[in-house]
Amino acid sequence: MTQFRRLSALLLCSGSALFLTGNSNGVAQPAAQAAAQAVAQQVTGSPAITDAIPAAQMAMVNAAIEAGDINAFFQAYEEAGLSFSPMTKTSRGIRDEDYGKWNDPSLAADLREHAMDRAFLSRMEAGFDPARLEGQDALSYRLFKSAMERQEALTPYRENGYIFNQMFGAQSGIPSFLVNMHRIGNEEEADAYIERIAGIGPYLDGQTKRAVQRAQAGVIPPRWVYPYVISDIDNLITPAGPDYAGNAIIDDFREKIAKLDGVDQKELTAEAIAAWEASALPAYKLLRAVMVEQQAKAGTDDGVWRLPDGDKYYAALLKSYTTTDLPADQIHQIGLDNVARIHDEMRAIMKKVGYQGTLPEFFEYTRTDPRFYAKSREEYLAKVDVALDAMEAELPKWFEVLPKDALQVKPVEAFREQSAGKAFYSRPAPDGSRPGIYYVNLYKLESMSLNELEALAYHEGLPGHHLQLSVQTGLGDLPPFRRFGGVTAYSEGWGLYSENLAKDMGFYTDPFSDFGRLQAELWRACRLVVDTGIHSKKWSREQAIAFLTENTPNPDGDIQKAIERYIVMPGQATAYMIGKLKIEELRDKAKAELGDDFDIRAYHTVVLGNGPVPLSIMEENVDAWIEEVKAGGK
């Protein structure tokens, strides 16, 4: 089928002609307003909650309520959710009849899941009396209700996100998922991989259709986003050699089946290539055509204030990410206050190393001097290994519960390194089949200062996300939604807290590495300023870049990539500093009240042992522990 016919078929299957009608700033025009209203009606018109829970899980729900077993109720919720998501099953290490399938990418599927969530909340509130629940059961009730309420608050803005951008989206998410999640241990699982390649077409087409729909409603990324997305696409559709050598998906398939015995590798590879050519390649070409078309019509305004109900949308995002009621202006000021504090601490280090000059001059020195950058990827990765090995040896002195999963350090794959963030973490599979992975983006070594190397490794690896998520995943007595869910202010607050905790543990012995720790903390303080600046105060991308350039020592490329991230992920970046400040505040409070009875290992167990929680509930947990210790229950 030609690209034009595929585009026509795709648009017709939606039931209406979907084409861009926004003006140069991505604002919906009269011809598109009806489409926008129709989408809005769909969003609020979820299926009736009485019909939303699958029959198999409804039987489990009824049995759980009759038995008064809230954990069995949450297990029903887990199984119902997995029934909607073959991809989540794969990430959990589950390989069943859905192993070769993708999730349903449609809005209708999102609405079904939303209705299911509402139905489970309704059934929980009707079937269980929170006054009769104790301990973790009572906390699970509160956490489930809190999560559903945060989700409900964002539901009116469900269609305000960007389907494709440089940080996430199916254009890079598909190969990333196959490479990192889909294991092949036998020929049946190789066939499932081929089935997934064949399923890329409808899965990606569904995402493309939704991007077109959102563009009609005025939800379109800024123009500068599109070259990143198009680059990700081109990395897949323009292989480096014959038989698709250089294609990340085909290369990964070849590498995985090469480890199998007794299979016809040549035949399997031919089937994979045939599936790519018949399904995936045309869908990627279609997506590219749509992205090129949208790029020509995209505007240059960056903040979500320009989207439908953008101000309310951003306020809801801030509340959801931080789990507080802090308004944008207050978050902005907290950022400015912490920037000033950290600048003072940096001046102390500048004096310690004997640098003569101003703080901005010192920034420029650390930003540009070659001594602060690795000469090769191998050198950088070797230094990361040294830092994490030393940290791992110290953990038992500071933590009662240690990670059971292995930690792997891995460069970001070539197919997405140009657009991906500088560092991130992928959690381990609960069955131990996949380690936790700390991804380091070494696309440009000049953007990865060695001064920050320790702080990044401690944040993403140990004692940061790897320890936190390994412990969380291993909380086997807790419901799955607590073991596998997340609260951004909690998890990212812990990551940033871990960077500073490493200072207490005796790390950052090199003053420049300690400066890198402050540099990383300063980065998160500046996020409070620039995120609210962009999305609430209508700063331009250039204004935000200028603020980071003036107030941080980070390289230019690092700064640009960061600001672009905050633009397409509004509100998320504010959670780090807000969460970290709360964890430190509660630790200081416990120290002051308990004196010699304060135990840092026990404090960390209180914070980590309940899994991710909103900051207010974290405070309640810590307060209860303080009273328990005072009463002699240490």
Q: For residue 115, which phi and psi values (nearest 5 degrees)?
A: -60, -40
Whats the size of the chain, residue-wise?
Answer: 634
| Sheet bearing 423-426, strands edge to edge | 407-411, 436-440, 423-426
* Residues 266 and 272: beta-carbon distance below 8 Å: no
Smallest CA-to-CA distance from 278 within 175, 193, 205, 198 is with 198
Q: For residue 410, which phi and psi values (nearest 5 degrees)?
A: -145, 130
* Residues 280 and 6: beta-carbon distance below 8 Å: no
Strand partners, 408: 437
Helix (H, G, I), strand (E, B) or coil at 423: strand
Residue carrying the six token digits 């500073």: 500
CA distances 75 to 49, 78, 116, 410, Å, are: 19, 5, 14, 34
Q: How far apart are CA 516 and CA 311, in angstroms?
A: 35
* Residues 63 and 72: beta-carbon distance below 8 Å: yes
Helix (H, G, I), strand (E, B) or coil at 25: coil
Q: List alpha helices for 395-510, DSSP H.
A: 453-460, 465-473, 480-484, 488-504
Distance of CA 143 to the CA centre of its chain: 20
* Residues 234 and 306: beta-carbon distance below 8 Å: no
Q: How far apart are CA 134 and CA 252, in angstroms?
A: 49
Q: How far apart are CA 311 and CA 317, in angstroms?
A: 10
Taking every pair of Cα atoms in the chain, the longest distance, rounded to a whole number of angstroms, is 75
Q: How far apart are CA 268 and CA 272, in angstroms?
A: 6
Q: How far apart are CA 107 and CA 61, in angstroms?
A: 26
Residue carrying the six token digits 């009707």: 126
Strand partners, 407: 436
Strand partners, 449: 373
Helix (H, G, I), strand (E, B) or coil at 449: strand
Q: Quickly count: other Cβ atoms within 10 Å of residue 346's Cβ.
A: 22
Residue carrying the six token digits 């077409």: 201
- 120-176 tens-digit pLDDT: 999 999 999 999 999 999 999 999 999 999 999 999 999 999 999 999 999 999 999
Q: Quickly count: other Cβ atoms within 10 Å of residue 216's Cβ.
A: 26
Q: How far apart are CA 521 and CA 497, in angstroms?
A: 9
* Residues 411 and 417: beta-carbon distance below 8 Å: yes
Smallest CA-to-CA distance from 163 within 320, 291, 34 is with 291
Distance of CA 349 to the CA centre of its chain: 33
Q: For residue 411, which phi and psi values (nearest 5 degrees)?
A: -65, 145
Q: How far apart are CA 488 and CA 439, in angstroms?
A: 19
Domain spans, the chain: 3-43+162-300, 49-160, 317-579, 580-630
* Residues 18 and 290: beta-carbon distance below 8 Å: no
- 352-373 tens-digit pLDDT: 999 999 999 999 999 999 999 9
Smallest CA-to-CA distance from 453 within 390, 397, 364, 528 is with 390
124-128-131-136 Cα dihedral, nearest 10 degrees: -70
Low-confidence residues in the chain, pLDDT < 50 = 1-47, 49
Prior bond of 463 cis (ω within 30°): yes
Q: How far apart are CA 75 and CA 530, in angstroms?
A: 41
Q: How far apart are CA 326 and CA 334, in angstroms?
A: 10
Between strands 436-440 and 407-411, the pairing is parallel
Which amino acid, residue 131? Answer: A
Per-residue tokens: 541 = 């991308």
Which amino acid, residue 254? Answer: R
Q: For residue 90, which phi and psi values (nearest 5 degrees)?
A: -65, -40
Strand partners, 437: 408, 426
The vertex-222 CA angle with 287 and 209, nearest 5°, equals 30
